[in-house]
Amino acid sequence: MRIITPAGKICKVCNVEFMAEKQERFNKRVSTSREVAVDMSVKPTGLRCYTEYDRNDISMPYVYIGNLAFEKVREIQKTLLEKGFYDFSVLEYQKISLSEPQKLVIDGGKSLPFYEECVYKGIFPYPNNAWGMPTPVNSSFKIEDDEDEGLDEDCEDEDCEDEE
């Protein structure tokens, strides 16, 4: 299966999980929960599409689409099964930012959906890319084969009186 992410990247999908979402307001705070739906009777309102990744990468890249109506989740499921493709870039999404996470709305699809992507190498996902974080492929931590040739000589010069 293939998808076009909300940001417009074409990805090959290796697994799709249906997600149950719940948002509660308590003591002027917003608590959001999401879990893999045990079956379709819980009427999932989100889905997580795991994309294929490089085995050397430390994260499992995914695209999460939340706050969908149950009927929309079923439509996406049917399209993926029949056509093997879905274009998430055509949907309109909530505008959220890191400074105002309480504005994220999860109401079973009555308002606009939101998305979270982690399709590039790196550790942290970014909802709607509103965080302004860098997203190019080279944004991950990279370990270079950088050897200090003078390291052995430096170690030989040190006194080892404490070890004796």
The DSSP 8-state label assigned to residue 121 in this structure reads S
Query: Helices marked H in 49-104 — which ranges?
Result: 70-83
pLDDT at residue number 32: 83
Please check the confidence at residue 145 and state whether its pLDDT lies above 70: no
Domain boundaries, the chain: 2-163
pTM score, two decimals? 0.68
Please check the confidence at residue 112 and state whether its pLDDT lies above 80: yes
**pLDDT tens figures, 37-85:** 999 999 999 999 998 865 655 566 889 999 999 999 999 999 999 999 9
Are the beta carbons of 60 and 71 closer than 8 angstroms?
A: no
The residue whose two tokens read 């004796």 is: 164
From 81, 58, 76, select the one nearest 115 (Cα to Cα).
76
Mean pLDDT of 150-161: 50
Are the beta carbons of 126 and 119 closer than 8 angstroms?
A: no
